[in-house]
């Protein structure tokens, strides 16, 4: 099975072949995966070197020229390093692009903090007009990329790829999708958190709902599911804990009472190397940690 | 400025001479400081003699693109846009008010003919690089991209990324006009701004930013056709005003 990045490069190359206005902007990362596409479309596959600010601005300029740019690199460089360009050269200009990152929160656990971006979705979420898609399986990537290109006229998309993956894929659905029903709580699993969540709550009487679409957040769907599950909600997100808490709170604000638990990457620096699974365990994002948090929250 | 005025053709004199009045309509001031007027002659020459743009072809894919990167002190820009019919003159009076489309930094989503929203420095040139690429990718080989920057704006490192890259890939449809009023604290050393562009493969020239004929000639030049061009428009320094 190909990983998400390989699937993305293949899908984006096909998009370039089919759509004469599509373009890809790179900053060295993944340039090898786009070599054939660059040979076919030298004017629309641009590698600007190790210049992430320029990469985002070039994406903005291409959009101003009427193109549909895909801009891609490692998450901390795509979102954090060039955030002013994301905010102004895309958001403020109303120049639209599909930003595709790799690396996620701690795919590069061995590389250390410089190559990790648990804050990426929270940052992007401050820029009006961005949808956020977090695939949970490589087989979901091509459809999400094509979907993002299809809605570029109405807004930009941040597509967050990871080497973490669920065991299997589900048919994609724009909002929350019930994987299994229950009565005591709704556990929302975002992207690659579905498999660990299912393992964590296998014997608990809770609804598990899956989504790849983080923004726009499916508040209506959450409200409906929570009404049948004691108005108790657990968000399990593979990035900064609480990133979607305000959206869930807004969705549930009309209820007389609700309970909300946000599970995600902790707001501190681990300062350890190791593997992604080691980091997941340390942040309580493996099945054991999720189970502990959920059972503590629900009570015996 | 008086010498430049004298060189103007009579039919242009009428509207160029109106620019101070239009600027006064915005600010209420009878006299305008050097930061407000440093770009005045460059903007006028661009819109009067160089840019292939007009109010009746705002969305024409074949139009030239003018990006005011140095968005600070836009009174001269708004005055030129009003003089050339892009915005109604009555808009000027509301400059900066809640109901106005004209802010202290311009916004492309509010003002006809304005290609980018600017204010934060160091964004126009990198956007211009993308725009120049995009026009080529669409097969639009006639329109040019002009980016106006200030000499102190070039302090921003994002420009360095764009200057080296644009020179290396040879974006021949890109023209930067750098209005140099020597306001960068650390300056550009021996050889000036143009030395920094030249080593990256840009063709460079320096003219008086008050000499309309020289500006028009430098900005309209076709260049070698092999790479981007820089025109440094030198004006009096802030301290000399």
In Å, how far is A77's CA from the nearest CA of chain B? 14
Question: Number of helices and strands (H, E) in chain B?
Answer: 9, 5
Q: Chain B: residue nearest A48 by CA?
A: B165
Place of tokens 């959009």: A63
In this complex, is the C-beta atom of B137 within 8 Å of any C-beta atom belonging to chain A? yes
pLDDT, tens digit, for every residue of B107-147? 999 999 999 999 999 999 999 999 999 999 999 999 999 99
Total number of domains in chain B? 1
CB contact under 8 A, A89 and B108: no
Q: Are A253 and A261 in contact (CB under 8 A)?
A: no
Cβ of B129 within 8 Å of Cβ of A54? The answer is yes
- Chain A positions touching B117 (Cβ under 8 A) are 88, 92-93
Decide: B181 and B238 in contact? Cβ < 8 Å: yes
**Distance to chain A for B35, nearest Cα, Å:** 24
**Positive or negative: CA dihedral A174, A178, A184, A185:** negative
Q: Does B108 touch chain A (CB under 8 A)?
A: yes
The answer to whether the CB atoms of A85 and B134 lie below 8 A apart is: no
Please give the residue range of the domain that contains residue B80: 2-240
- The rounded mean pLDDT for chain B is 91
Contact assignment for B162 to A21 by CB distance below 8 Å: no
- Which run of H or E residues covers position B175? strand B174-180
User: B26 vs chain A: nearest CA distance in angstroms?
Assistant: 25
For residues B42-53, average pLDDT: 97
Task: For residue B136, list chain A residues with Cβ-Cβ distance below 8 A.
Answer: 43
Using CB atoms, pick whichever of B120, B129, B137 lies closest to residue A67: B137
Average pLDDT over residues A165-194: 96
Residue with tokens 């004929």: B213
B187 touches chain A (CB under 8 A): no
Q: Which of A16-30, B110-124, B226-240 has the lowest mean pLDDT?
A: B226-240
At residue B222, the pLDDT reads 73
Q: Taking CB atoms and an 8 Å limit, are A65 and B137 in contact across chains?
A: yes
Reported ipTM: 0.96
pLDDT one-digit tens code per residue, A107-141: 999 999 999 999 999 999 999 999 999 999 999 99
pLDDT above 70 (res B7)? no
- Encode burial over B205-219: b for 16+ CB neighbours within 10 A, e otherwise: bbbbbbbbebbbbbb
Tokens of A231: 């108005």
The domains of chain A, with CATH numbers, are 4-160 (3.40.50.970), 177-298 (3.40.50.920)
Inter-chain CB proximity A93 and B129 less than 8 Å: no
Mean pLDDT of B80-95: 95
CB atoms within 10 A of CB B185: 6
pLDDT in tens, A46-92: 999 999 999 999 999 999 999 999 999 999 999 999 999 999 999 99
Question: Hey, is B47 helix, strand or coil?
Answer: helix
Q: Say whether A61 and B130 touch across the interface (CB within 8 A).
A: yes
The CATH number of residue B71's host domain is 3.40.50.970
pLDDT at A173 (0 to 100) = 87
Tokens matching residue A113: 């903090």
Q: What is the pLDDT of residues B150-168, one digit of tens each?
A: 999 999 999 999 999 999 9
- Report d(CA B60, CA B63) in Å as an integer: 6
B131 contact A CB<8A: yes
Task: Please tell me the distance from the alpha carbon of residue B225 to that of residue A204, in angstroms, as a whole number.
Answer: 70
Exposed/middle/buried for residue A240 (C-beta within 10 Å: 0-12, 13-18, 19+):
buried
Q: Tell me, what's the pLDDT at B224?
A: 63
* Radius of gyration of chain B measured on its C-alpha atoms: 17
The first and second tokens of residue B88, run together, are: 């109604």
For an interface test with B, give the residue of A20, A57, A71 to mutate (most B CBs within 10 A). A57
Alpha helical stretches, state H, B51-145:
75-83, 124-137
């Amino acid at each position: 099975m190909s990983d998400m990045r390989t699937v993305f490069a293949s899908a984006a190359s096909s998009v370039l072949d089919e759509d004469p206005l599509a373009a890809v902007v790179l900053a060295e990362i993944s340039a090898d995966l786009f070599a054939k596409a660059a040979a076919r479309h030298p004017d629309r596959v641009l590698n600007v070197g190790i210049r992430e600010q320029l990469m985002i601005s070039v994406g903005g300029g291409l959009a101003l020229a009427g193109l549909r740019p895909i801009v891609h690199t490692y998450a901390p460089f795509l979102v954090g390093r060039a955030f002013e360009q994301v905010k102004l050269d895309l958001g403020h200009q109303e120049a639209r692009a599909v930003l595709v990152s790799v690396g996620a929160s701690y795919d590069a656990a061995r590389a250390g903090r410089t190559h990790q971006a648990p804050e990426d979705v929270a940052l992007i979420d401050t820029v009006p007009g961005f949808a956020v898609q977090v695939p949970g399986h490589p087989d979901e990537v091509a459809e999400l990329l094509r979907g993002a290109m299809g809605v570029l006229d109405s807004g930009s998309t941040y597509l967050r790829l990871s080497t973490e993956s669920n065991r299997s894929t589900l048919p994609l659905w724009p909002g929350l999708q019930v994987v299994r029903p229950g009565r005591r709580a709704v556990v929302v699993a975002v992207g690659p958190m579905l498999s660990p969540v299912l393992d964590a709550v296998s014997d608990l009487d809770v609804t598990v709902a899956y989504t790849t679409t983080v923004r726009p957040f499916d508040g209506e769907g959450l409200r409906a599911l929570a009404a049948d599950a004691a108005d108790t909600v657990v968000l399990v997100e593979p990035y900064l804990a609480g990133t979607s808490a305000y959206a869930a709170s807004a969705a549930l604000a009309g209820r007389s009472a609700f309970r909300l638990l946000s599970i995600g990457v902790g707001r501190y620096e681990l300062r350890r190397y190791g593997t992604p699974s080691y980091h997941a365990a340390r942040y309580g994002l493996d099945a054991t940690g999720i189970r502990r948090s959920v059972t503590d929250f629900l009570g015996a | 400025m008086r010498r430049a005025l004298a060189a103007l053709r009579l039919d242009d004199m009428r509207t160029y001479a109106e620019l101070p009045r239009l600027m006064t309509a915005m600010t209420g001031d009878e006299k305008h400081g050097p930061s407000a007027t440093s770009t005045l002659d460059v903007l006028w020459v661009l819109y009067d003699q160089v840019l292939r743009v007009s109010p009746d072809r705002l969305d024409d894919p074949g139009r030239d693109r003018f990006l005011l990167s140095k968005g600070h002190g836009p009174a001269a820009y708004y005055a030129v846009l009003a003089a050339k019919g892009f915005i109604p003159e009555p808009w000027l009076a509301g400059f900066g008010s809640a109901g106005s489309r004209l802010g202290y930094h311009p916004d492309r989503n509010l003002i006809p003919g304005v290609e980018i929203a600017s204010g934060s420095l160091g964004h126009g040139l990198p956007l211009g690089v993308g725009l120049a690429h995009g026009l080529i990718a669409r097969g639009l080989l006639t329109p040019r991209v002009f980016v106006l920057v200030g000499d102190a704006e070039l302090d921003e490192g994002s420009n360095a990324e764009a200057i080296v890259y644009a020179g290396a890939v040879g974006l021949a449809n890109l023209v930067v006009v750098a209005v140099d009023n020597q306001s960068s604290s650390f300056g550009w050393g021996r050889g000036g701004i143009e030395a920094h562009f030249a080593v990256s493969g840009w063709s460079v020239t320096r003219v008086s930013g008050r000499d309309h004929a020289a500006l028009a000639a430098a900005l309209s030049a076709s260049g070698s056709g092999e790479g981007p061009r820089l025109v440094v428009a030198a004006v009096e320094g802030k301290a000399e005003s």
